Amino acid sequence: MKANRPKKPIPPGELAGLRARLAEAEETLRAIRSGEVDVVLVTEKEGVQLFTLDGAEQAYRVLIESMNEGALMLTADKTILYANQCFARMVKCPLEQVIGSSLRRFLSTEDGATLLLLLKRTASAGTKIQVLLQVSDGSLMPGHLSIRPLARNGFEGATFGIVVTDMTEARRSEKLLRALTNRVVQAQETERGHLAHELHDTVTQMLCAVHVHSQALSKILPARNRLAKREAKKLNELIQRAVEEVVCISRNLRPSVLDHLGLVAGLHDTSTAFANRTGVAVKMVCVKLIVRLPADTELALFRILQETLHNVEKHAGARHVTVRLTKPGDFVQLTIHDDGIGFDPDRHPVRGRGKGGFGLLGMRERAAYVGGVLKIKSIRWSGTEIEIRIPLPPDAAAATGLVGKLLTKK
The amino acid sitting at 251 is R
Q: How far apart are CA 95 and CA 205, in angstroms?
A: 76
Is the distance from CB of 290 to CB of 332 less than 8 angstroms?
Answer: no
Among candidate residues 163, 139, 150, 133, the one with its CA nearest the CA of residue 64: 163
> What's the pTM?
0.59
Using CB atoms within 10 Å of the CB of residue 273, give its burial: 0 to 12 exposed, 13 to 18 middle, 19+ buried. middle
Q: Read off φ and ψ for residue 387, nearest 5 degrees.
A: -125, 130
Q: At a CB cut-off of 8 Å and minimum separation 6, what does 20 contact?
A: none
Is the distance from CB of 83 to CB of 97 less than 8 angstroms?
Answer: no
Instruction: Return the DSSP state at 102.
Output: B
Instruction: Return the DSSP state at 261.
Output: H
Spatial strand order of the sheet with 140-149 comes to 80-83, 70-74, 160-166, 140-149, 127-134
Give the pLDDT score at 301: 92
Distances (CA, A) of 41 to 17, 37, 53, 114, 247: 21, 11, 11, 45, 90
Is the distance from CB of 341 to CB of 380 less than 8 angstroms?
Answer: yes
* Tens digits of pLDDT across the chain (410 residues): 455 555 566 676 677 777 777 777 666 656 555 545 555 554 545 554 444 444 445 556 666 777 788 988 888 778 888 888 899 999 999 988 888 888 888 988 888 888 887 777 765 567 888 889 999 888 889 999 988 887 655 555 557 888 999 888 888 887 887 778 778 777 877 788 788 777 877 888 888 888 888 888 888 888 788 888 888 888 888 888 888 888 778 777 777 788 778 888 889 888 988 888 888 889 988 887 777 888 888 888 998 998 899 888 888 888 899 999 988 888 889 999 998 888 876 665 444 444 434 577 788 888 888 888 898 888 877 788 999 999 887 766 554 444 544 444 43
The amino acid sitting at 47 is G
Domain boundaries, the chain: 56-166, 167-254, 258-410
Q: What CATH number should be reported for the domain whose range is 258-410?
A: 3.30.565.10
Give the pLDDT score at 351: 45
Give the pLDDT score at 212: 84
Is the distance from CB of 193 to CB of 253 less than 8 angstroms?
Answer: yes
Quote the strand ranges of 135-184, DSSP E.
140-149, 160-166
Give the pLDDT score at 325: 92
Q: How far apart are CA 61 and CA 48, in angstroms?
A: 26
Is the distance from CB of 292 to CB of 248 less than 8 angstroms?
Answer: no
Q: What CATH number should be reported for the domain whose range is 56-166?
A: 3.30.450.20
Q: How far apart are CA 107 and CA 102, in angstroms?
A: 10
The amino acid sitting at 77 is D
**Could you give the 3-state DSSP secondary structure of residue 61?**
helix
Q: How far apart are CA 188 and CA 177, in angstroms?
A: 17
